[in-house]
Structure 1
Amino acid sequence: MTDEGIPTNDLVLEGDLVIIDAAGVVRLRLDRETGSIFGHNADGDMVFRWQVPGNNLSFGGHGQDGDLTIFDGGANTVAGTSQAILHVNSQTGTLRIGGSGISGRILGQDGDNTQVFLLDAEAGIIIVGNDGQEGSFLAQNSSGQTTIRIQAQNGNINAGGGGADGDLLLRGPDGSLRVHLSAGGQRMEIREPSGEITAMMGGDANIRAGSNGRSGNLFLYPQQASDIFNNAQASIVLNAENGNASLGGSAGDGDVLLRDTSGATRVHLSASDQRLEIRDGDGAITSMIGGDANVRVGTNGRSGNMYLYPRDAENIFDNSEATIELNGDAGDIVLSNGDCAEEFRLGTDAAAEPGQVVRLTDEGAICPTTTPYDTRVAGVVAGAGGQRPGIVLGRTAAGETAARVALMGQVYCLVDAEPGSIHTGDLLVSGSRKGHAMRADDPAKAFGAVIGKAMEPLAEGTGLVRILVNIS
């Protein structure tokens, strides 16, 4: 040992240690003052530096890549990188951890040695956050604006912003887009492998299901359902294939309740009670269909009326356009049309026009009259002058040609004034003109042949006249 405590067999230099190659180029230098080590290539360019002040390690450059390889104790060679468990490759810009039977892990700890980040290759997981520190993931665009944010604190995933829409795309094993959640389109699309949309939520605030060979259905299940793929357990089914809405089932009876802005039930369709209820604001029933196969309208201060309209009515709230009114207050049945008619079978090759006078045939059918004072007269074919029958009795057999004949009441009739002018109140009988009535001038012949009484005059010629039917 020397006086300074250095072993006598050590090499001690008072200056720098410099190693020069045969060409006189410095290849390695150990700096005496700083303790740093510098390595040079054959051209004298520094390609390795271990700078003790600052504890920095630098290598590479001047045409040579700088790699860092670390081996565990089981490696039988340090040549190459195949057995390295840590390889920093500057050429590819990659960091490889693990290999040669050892799984790679990256562990990040805070100042208190608490794990807040873990990348575990063996388990294939990334854990961010722990022990009082929330984990977050931020991805930024080239302008430094965050466009993707995953926050563990509130469990949110935010995508978009910074001038870009956020989309979520889920693909099938063949790479086809199957689910697309689009911020720009404001909708979620469900697609089949061919790319066709079969269901969509959003896009003008709509929910669309079905199309491209797929039926759109909605199934809602009660909490006690055990199989969400068993359609029979659904308590609400909207079926687009047949256009049906099904409510109720094993979970209970299906009801439809419509409420007003105050929350009061105004319409109640009940499967258990088998009825449709109409209620006022106080909850009192004012109309009901069902319940022992009845129709009930009115009560609790409301009059029960029923109005039936023809197909050409223009205003369903104009009671005057109704052809039939059932008035609960007055107890009346009001028929706006003016006659009571019955359907009669037309005779063979016979035709009858509205307003024509008809007679009975030997076969029990009808045909237009052609004989004056015909005692087989049956009445007037209803429907002329826009006057429809108020009541129609009887129906002919299916497929038979028939006409509705007015038996009583007001009806428009074809009349012939050539045998004599028609005056209001004149009795009418059949005339010689086909299907026309004329004035009865012979009381003896008129017995049993009277059709009715004229309600308006016709001075000459032929035309439609409103009459009061009274077969006698």
Structure 2
Amino acid sequence: MTGKLTVNSSEAADFHGDIALFETDGTKTVDVDADAGLLRLYNGSSIEQLHISGDNSTGGLIYFYNESGATTIYMDGEKSSTTLGGLMRLFNGSSKLTIVLDGDAGGEQIAVADSTGTRTISIEGEEAPGDGAQILMYNTSGVQTLQIDSDSTTAGGYIQLYDSAGHATITLDGETGGDGRITTQELAITGGSDLSEQFDINAPKTPVEAGMLVSIDPQNPGKLIPSDEPYDRKVAGIVSGAGGVKPGMMMGQNGTIANGEYPVALSGRVYALADTSEGGEIKPGDLLTTSRIPGYAMKATDAEKRSGAVIGKAMTSLKTKKGLVLVLVSLQ
């Protein structure tokens, strides 16, 4: 005999009573309460490891414990009489609740906490009846810092970022009056250094390339052409992208005249094609204008002609006949 079985029953005919299993040293390892529908399992140190209840008034219930007897998993088949869904809670070794899975929350279905038990993530499959999903994230102080909503008040996607004090600082709204919108106090752009607008450029004789100076096309409203006359007062900007410097911000409106194929820098720093054969050597600070070479800039030496025809100021030098000059774009 390797163990002991004990059966206690005051109502044997109804099979109600207690069953206990013991090791040879008398340590109880299994306890069954048939009347309550309860099963308990113990380790060799008589510490309860598993608790299964088949009649918890609102559904089945299971507890898992670690070797110290602390609850690590709690599973409820019916968390209350009003919400019939299942509930599961997971605890860490310090008995801090770290994960909650709720099958019938009417809101939050998954909650995740850090090692201190502070909630850090909340996932809702249905924010409210008829609404879409929502994810909320919190910092270590329990302050909400991120909200991701699949179905905001305007039915579009929505992302809101907050500072450490819980104040909204960045909003990405997928549908604001039919348009997407980003709202913030400060915008840092690190991918480029000029403000460009999208234009179509008519260039039947000269292929369009980055760095070209372009002017307003008088024959086609809203379109541009490569500049090909000195001191052209119709000069509009510089095709962005030359010298490895990309546009920082590009604007345009699809489906309208305010759109096009090429980004044309209207402000900021951009490299331009330049020529010294007519205006002479270019030095930093020189005003630049259009030349008779299609798409090329030159130094604006004629004070009378350059009014209204200056594309900007040179920020680098050019001694050779042709090359690239970094330009601070500023139409004058």
TM-score bin, normalised by smaller chain: 0.5 to 0.7
Pick from 283, 292, 295 the counterpart of residue 160 of structure 2: 295
With over 3 angstroms needed to count, the CA separation of the structure-2 counterparts of 1:369 and 1:334, relative to structure 1, is: same
The answer to whether the 8 A contact 1:369-1:434 is kept is yes
Deviations 1:34-73 (A, max 9, x none): xxxxxxxxxxxxxxxxxxxxxxxxxxxxxxxxxxxxxxxx
CA–CA separation in structure 2 for the residues paired with 1:463 and 1:255: 63
Pick from 448, 463, 466 the counterpart of residue 308 of structure 2: 448
Percent identity at matched positions? 31
SS in 1 for 2:236: strand
Q: Show the counterpart of 2:216.
A: 360
Matches within 5 A, 1:39-54: none
Does 2:294 match 1:429?
Answer: no
Q: Show the counterpart of 1:279.
A: 138
Pick from 403, 410, 414 the counterpart of residue 262 of structure 2: 403
Pick from 244, 266, 269 the counterpart of residue 120 of structure 2: 266
SS in 2 for 1:443: coil
The answer to whether the 8 A contact 1:343-1:396 is kept is no
Deviations 1:325-363 (A, max 9, x none): x998xx432333322111112226474211111111110
With over 3 angstroms needed to count, the CA separation of the structure-2 counterparts of 1:401 and 1:343, relative to structure 1, is: closer
- For residue 378 of structure 1, report the CA deviation from its aligned partner: 0.9
Considering only aligned residues, what root-mean-square deviation do their CA atoms show, in Å? 3.9
Q: Show the counterpart of 2:235.
A: 377
The letter for the 2-side match of 1:300 is A
CA–CA separation in structure 2 for the residues paired with 1:466 and 1:261: 54
- For residue 461 of structure 1, report the CA deviation from its aligned partner: 2.0
The letter for the 2-side match of 1:360 is I
The answer to whether the 8 A contact 2:78-2:85 is kept is no
With over 3 angstroms needed to count, the CA separation of the structure-2 counterparts of 1:305 and 1:255, relative to structure 1, is: same
TM-score with structure 2 setting the length: 0.54
Does 2:201 match 1:342?
Answer: no
CA–CA separation in structure 1 for the residues paired with 2:105 and 2:122: 19
The answer to whether the 8 A contact 1:369-1:431 is kept is yes
The answer to whether the 8 A contact 2:269-2:328 is kept is yes
Deviations 1:183-230 (A, max 9, x none): xxxxxxxxxxxxxxxxxxxxxxxxxxxxxxxxxxxxxxx759xxxxxx
> How many aligned residue pairs are there?
216
SS in 2 for 1:268: strand
Pick from 382, 386, 397 the counterpart of residue 244 of structure 2: 386
CA–CA separation in structure 2 for the residues paired with 1:279 and 1:462: 57
The letter for the 2-side match of 1:384 is A
Does 2:322 match 1:467?
Answer: no
Structure with greater Cα Rg: 1
Deviations 1:275-334 (A, max 9, x none): 42221223222333447656132133999689xxxxxxxxxxxxxxxxxxx998xx4323
Matches within 5 A, 1:238-277: 252-253=106-107, 255-270=109-124, 271-272=126-127, 275-277=134-136
The answer to whether the 8 A contact 1:380-1:411 is kept is yes
CA–CA separation in structure 2 for the residues paired with 1:386 and 1:367: 23
Q: Show the counterpart of 2:318.
A: 458
The answer to whether the 8 A contact 1:351-1:367 is kept is no
CA–CA separation in structure 1 for the residues paired with 2:127 and 2:119: 17
Matches within 5 A, 1:8-407: 252-253=106-107, 255-270=109-124, 271-272=126-127, 275-290=134-149, 293=158, 295-300=160-165, 331-336=185-190, 337-347=192-202, 349=204, 351-361=207-217, 362-364=219-221, 365-397=223-255, 402-407=261-266
The answer to whether the 8 A contact 1:396-1:402 is kept is no
TM-score with structure 1 setting the length: 0.39
CA–CA separation in structure 1 for the residues paired with 2:167 and 2:254: 41
CA–CA separation in structure 2 for the residues paired with 1:381 and 1:272: 47
Higher relative contact order (CA 8 A, sep 6+): 2
CA–CA separation in structure 2 for the residues paired with 1:250 and 1:335: 44
Deviations 1:217-272 (A, max 9, x none): xxxxx759xxxxxxxx999xxxxxxxxxxx99877446332333334321112232
The letter for the 2-side match of 1:257 is A
Structure 2: unaligned runs, 5 residues or longer: 1-18, 20-29, 32-76, 87-100, 172-181
With over 3 angstroms needed to count, the CA separation of the structure-2 counterparts of 1:378 and 1:248, relative to structure 1, is: farther
- For residue 387 of structure 1, report the CA deviation from its aligned partner: 1.8
The answer to whether the 8 A contact 1:345-1:396 is kept is no
CA–CA separation in structure 1 for the residues paired with 2:300 and 2:286: 7
With over 3 angstroms needed to count, the CA separation of the structure-2 counterparts of 1:254 and 1:332, relative to structure 1, is: closer
- For residue 401 of structure 1, report the CA deviation from its aligned partner: 5.5
